Amino acid sequence: MLQDRAKDLARIDGLGHLPSGIALARKFEQKASGGDYALDQALGDHIATVEQMQAVFEKIAARFGAAEQGNAQALSGIDPGQ
């Protein structure tokens, strides 16, 4: 899952052993996971929002289908000869 892959980014290597490299690596690690509104948290929020949207769209589709069926039944009851 994408969230799990974001957590894998929480360990950054290759920026050296100088204090500035260590600080920079730490900053990037915090952006991936564990920091203020890190990537893993942002992805979780986006996933929750999309799941809520999906539920709303499914309800809309069900209501539309029910209304369409009711309209079709009402129209089929009309006598065209009158």
Give 56-74 pLDDT, tens digit per residue: 999 999 999 999 999 998 8
The domain of 10 spans 2-76
| CA–CA separation, 33 and 25 (whole Å) | 12
How many folded domains does the chain comprise?
1
In a domain, 22, yes or no: yes
| pLDDT tens, position by position, 7-66 | 777 788 888 899 999 999 999 889 888 889 999 899 999 999 999 999 999 999 999 999
Joined tokens for residue 26:
């730490």
The span from the CA of 39 to the CA of 33, in Å, is 6
The answer as to whether 25 is a domain residue is: yes
Decide if 16 is inside a domain: yes
End-to-end Cα spacing for the chain: 62
Question: Which residues, including other chains, have CB under 8 Å from residue 71's CB and lie 6 or more apart?
Answer: none
In a domain, residue 28? The reply is yes
Predicted structure pTM score: 0.67
**Count of CB atoms within 10 A of residue 43's CB?**
17
Token digits for 3? 């969230």
Is 82 contained in some domain?
Answer: no
Note whether residue 81 is domain-resident: no
